[in-house]
A and B are shown apart, each in its own frame.
Chain A
Amino acid sequence: MRSRLIVNPNLCTGCRTCELACSFTHSVAGKPGLSRIYPLDGGFKDLFVPVVCLQCEDPACARSCLVDAITRNPETGAMELDDKKCVRCQACVSACPFGCSLFDRVNNLVVKCDLCGGDPACAHFCPTKALEYKPIVPKALKSAG
């Protein structure tokens, strides 16, 4: 079963470790890159929501990409953006209803979450397990196990 990045806002303390982990994992020329994940204010006291790409089924980012630079990685299920193909038109940045395609002004790059190729650093470093990368097990199997 394919793993997914599971977000549990109840456990998020807003510590922003995920942001750091993401930045460092996606460094550009030795410098930290733009994070693809943000713990944002959930609108209630002490409630933070880590916002990250949902790897949608029929994603607006890929649909809006006119040079087919965003495609699904069949192994991880992540919608990956091929920077070699990207022409910086930023259609995806505008089209994603969750704002999860981002434009990195410093490095002139369009970036989005790629699940770190199957081992997302954010989940790896999350101290409270508000972010977890794990297989989704069907209910029937779960009870049997």
Chain B
Amino acid sequence: MQISTPKQLKELQQKFQDKDNKLVKKIIVCHGPGCLASGAEKIFEEFQQVLSKKKIKGVTLEALKKTGCHGLCEKAPLVAIEPAGILYTRVKPRLVEDIIEKTVKNDEVIPELLYQDPETKKRVEKYRDIKFYSHQTRIALRNLGHINTADIEDFIRVGGYQAMAKAITKMTPERIIDEVTKSGLRGRGGGGFSTGRKWATCRKVKDDTHYVICNGDEGDPGAFMDRAIMEGDPHSVLEGMIIAAFAVGARSGYIYVREEYPLAVVNLQIAIEQAREYGLLGESIFGTDFSFDIQINRGAGAFVCGESSALMKSVAGEVGEPRAKYIRSVVKGLYDKPTVLNNVETFANVPVIIDRGAKWFTGIGAPKNSGTKAFSLVGKVRNTGLIEVPMGTSLREIIYDIGGGLIDGRPFKAVQTGGPSGGCLPDSLLDSPVDFDSLTKAGSMMGSGGMIVMDDRTCMVDVAKYFLSFLVSESCGKCNPCREGLYQLYKLAVKVSEGRAEEDDLEKMEKLSDMIIIGSLCGLGKSGPNPFLSTVRYFREEYLAHIKEKKCPAGVCRELIRFEINDKCDGCTACILACAYNAITGKKKEPHVINQDLCTHCGACVTVCTRNAIDVI
């Protein structure tokens, strides 16, 4: 099936819509990363089996959909029944028959499976009424949870490739770039550079070859927005890339996918093949002289390979080391040719902008930060998951309304944004808006969209230590300030956490951080000290407690804490069993004691104590 005119595409869309309209009900089985990990495939198979056994009028196997991430990963696996919009959480295969019998067949809701509001304890029937969903605006994630993954028919049905048709047949490259520039779209990979300006510069470089690359490396620990898009809606990425290619005059494109994302590779590959089959990739697209094709590159499994120059070296088959930025990659990028590199989410935004116009897009979000941003909300919040909010939404709204507040109602301590080289923001900044400029001003950054919420039991020195150690091992090791500087910064953080540091060590760390920022070659080093700088900026007392009082207020740093048994102990002996160092003694039914000389502060006793009888001091 080759589509050669926009009219044909419209007709095809109509055809698929008609087919879809015949479905009275749709059963959405989320196949996002979280749900897959909790057994979504089994549930899907179960639905297939039960559905083919029971003949329900108007509900065929076609009604069953495997979609990308629905969002509320905390409650995975998720099943939604559309069009009613009923969301079932923590579904198990044995419940499938019930769901079909009651909800699909008889429109009867199963209350136990519904989402329960943590505050009101009320069950919410329609997922759109759940605050987690109602506070979101989905653009990049628009199709996730709605259409089949890697299914071009479903994608075309919801209007896919229409923007591309419009761009190629009705717009000039200049018009497209102008529209994208006016939309104010900024790179979602972290830097926040104007996408339109990037394209314009690339187009202006006179050369016979231009490239378009999609950055799907997503190396931030805990982040999975790009993964969700590539797995769940790969065609959106392709459509964005095709529009970009047409705009800058590229004939080939690459998608660089992180090594750990095999399903993304599979689904992108399927999508590419489908697009070729439909004539949307290949020679003379829509009968014009524009030709474009896309290839997938598997990442090298290194965080630093997400950095633009390292990524291009890796695509070219060289070692993924960043190079100096004095020659910009838009001018001399892959194979020294002008290259546009954009993030997955950036590309996924492009078709919508072309379709609905720059004006519409700038109406969403904040000044100079138009549109939305996807985040993976993780950590100590009740509703972890994949979210997308207008730029400028406050941290409080994200954490408390969408995230449902902290687990067990514990006090909020900090939120970490921007990936490993981002920063931690305290409660005093909860009301500041989330956008590129505000986050940077606050000493953190947007990054690609990881958001980790921390409660009062988190030690900020420990957090800084964790991220620094990540960066020390993930630095490419090329330049001295990043390789040796971050290593020493990490060592100093360890010194603080072990209570060996002195007050002037903090100053030393700050000075070293400044030098690492000036001296490093690429963004990794230049933002590497952020985990330290932001925590010391907002949580200086906590550092000082470690240094002066030799105490870890959060009770995390092993060298600075002590375990003691309180009077709640009823002598159950569980802790004695658990202690591998024979540090706990005591008779049955008599209070136990910890021998501080033998205790290694491993915390095993705390894990097994059911009486809350062990205090961390």
A and B touch in the complex (CB under 8 A): no
Q: Taking beta carbons and an 8 Å cutoff, which residues of B are in contact with A? A: none
Name A residues whose Cβ lies closer than 8 Å to a Cβ of B.
none
